[in-house]
């Protein structure tokens, strides 16, 4: 069973502290945590730091082991990170890019096993038709899907996804977030993902965290975290949570705060 603890977590750039002293309740196996908040609040910075790509103060433990003390290869095998911007200009086809991403952090796995895992992930995401296309010729949304496949094929314990649907149309947004939720539910592990679409987050995440300033403004289930007060303070909007015919909550925005 995977667990992630974050205690007195602070991160920034030089003298500018973006997030300060964040302590979270233990994040347990099966959690899909949506990280929300306005632009520039530190969502991406937090994920980069948790992935080991930026120094931070405080402590982060994965299954009782300090993340910042893990050897790089071991950390990369346990934590999968998808950034907002993916590399461009590569001549690799999508299939080889996914296989290479897995073998880079899991060199012990035989290639035939990796190939089967890659084919399974392409099928899960519904992108088998992209497998033998050159990455450099794919659209931004298609590259984003292949980038996600590169992360999922490694079967990490923790997924850190920075706006994984930002380049996708509505159909693919629902597909991708649905697949991620299903994987965490079926296989276990933890997913933290930065999102801007509050309705998408409320539908597919079982926990939400709203950042404001350098702190956590709200955390809990979707109904606990997204309230009239939270929306006003975090986003400066007047909004309300309604319930659709299927019993799911959704956000209705009425106006901006005066």
Tokens standing for residue 231: 């929306």
Residue range 175-191, pLDDT digits in tens: 999 999 999 999 999 99
Task: Establish if 123 belongs to a structural domain.
Answer: yes
The answer, yes or no, to whether residue 153 has pLDDT greater than 90, is yes
**Residues with Cβ < 8 Å from 207, sequence gap 6 or more?**
27, 31, 32, 33, 34, 219, 220, 221, 225
Task: Establish if 137 belongs to a structural domain.
Answer: yes
Average pLDDT over residues 68-83: 94
The answer, yes or no, to whether residue 234 has pLDDT greater than 70, is yes
Task: Establish if 246 belongs to a structural domain.
Answer: no
Task: Establish if 249 belongs to a structural domain.
Answer: no
Task: Establish if 146 belongs to a structural domain.
Answer: yes
Beta-strand ranges (E) seen in the chain are: 3-13, 16-22, 27-28, 32-36, 57-62, 65-66, 79-82, 158-162, 190-194, 207-212, 215-220, 237-243, 249-256
The answer, yes or no, to whether residue 246 has pLDDT greater than 90, is no
Please report the pLDDT score of residue 227 as a whole number: 94
Task: Establish if 233 belongs to a structural domain.
Answer: no
Measured between its terminal Cα atoms, the distance across the chain in Å is 47
Bridge partners of 10, per DSSP, are 57
Tokens standing for residue 75: 């950390």
Task: Establish if 55 belongs to a structural domain.
Answer: yes
Helix (H, G, I), strand (E, B) or coil at 101: helix
Average pLDDT over residues 143-155: 96
Residue range 18-47, pLDDT digits in tens: 999 999 999 999 999 999 999 999 999 999
Average pLDDT over residues 132-143: 93
b/e for 143-164, b at 16 or more Cβ within 10 A?
A: bbbbbbbbbbbbbbbbbbbbbb
The answer, yes or no, to whether residue 16 has pLDDT greater than 80, is yes
Please name which of 249, 253, 227, 229 lies closest in space to residue 239, comparing C-alpha atoms.
253
CATH of the domain at 7: 3.40.50.300
Q: What CA–CA distances, in Å, run from 169 to 119, 142, 149, 152, 185?
A: 23, 11, 18, 21, 24
Structural domains in the chain (count): 1
CB count, 10 Å around CB of 128? 14
**Residues with Cβ < 8 Å from 213, sequence gap 6 or more?**
41
Element housing 117 (H / E): helix 111-125
Average pLDDT over residues 228-237: 95
Please report the pLDDT score of residue 89 as a whole number: 65
Please report the pLDDT score of residue 249 as a whole number: 86
Task: Establish if 110 belongs to a structural domain.
Answer: yes
Residue range 88-114, pLDDT digits in tens: 767 899 999 999 999 999 888 899 999
Could you list the residue range(s) of the whole structural domain that residue 182 is in? 3-218
Please name which of 13, 132, 142, 128 lies closest in space to residue 88, comparing C-alpha atoms.
142
The answer, yes or no, to whether residue 244 has pLDDT greater than 90, is no
Distance between CA 24 and CA 202 in Å, rounded?
Answer: 19
Percent of the chain exceeding pLDDT 90 equals: 87
Q: What is the mean pLDDT of the chain?
A: 94
Percent of the chain exceeding pLDDT 70 equals: 100
């Amino acid at each position: 069973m995977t667990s992630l603890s974050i205690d007195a977590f602070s991160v920034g750039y030089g003298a500018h502290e973006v997030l300060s002293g964040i302590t979270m309740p233990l994040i347990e196996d099966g959690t899909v945590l949506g990280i929300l908040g306005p632009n520039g609040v530190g969502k991406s910075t937090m994920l980069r730091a948790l992935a080991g790509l930026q120094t931070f103060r405080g402590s982060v433990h994965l299954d009782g082991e300090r993340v910042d003390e893990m050897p790089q290869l071991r950390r990369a095998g346990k934590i999968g990170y998808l950034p907002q911007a993916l590399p461009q200009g590569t001549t690799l086809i999508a299939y080889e890019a996914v296989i290479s991403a897995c073998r880079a952090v899991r060199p012990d796995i035989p290639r035939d096993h990796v190939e089967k895992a890659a084919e399974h992930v392409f099928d899960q995401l519904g992108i088998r038709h992209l497998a033998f296309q050159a990455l450099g010729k794919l659209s931004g949304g298609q590259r984003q899907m292949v980038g996600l496949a590169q992360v999922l094929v490694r079967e990490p314990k923790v997924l850190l996804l920075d706006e994984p649907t930002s380049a996708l149309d509505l159909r693919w947004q629902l597909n991708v977030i649905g697949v991620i939720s299903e994987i965490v539910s079926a296989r276990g592990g933890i997913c933290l993902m930065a999102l801007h679409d509050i309705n998408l987050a409320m539908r597919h995440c079982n926990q939400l965290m709203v950042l404001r300033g350098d702190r956590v403004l709200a955390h809990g289930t979707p109904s606990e975290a997204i309230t009239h007060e939270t929306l006003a303070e975090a986003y400066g909007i007047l909004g309300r949570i309604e319930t659709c015919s299927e019993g799911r909550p959704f956000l209705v925005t009425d106006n901006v705060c005066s």
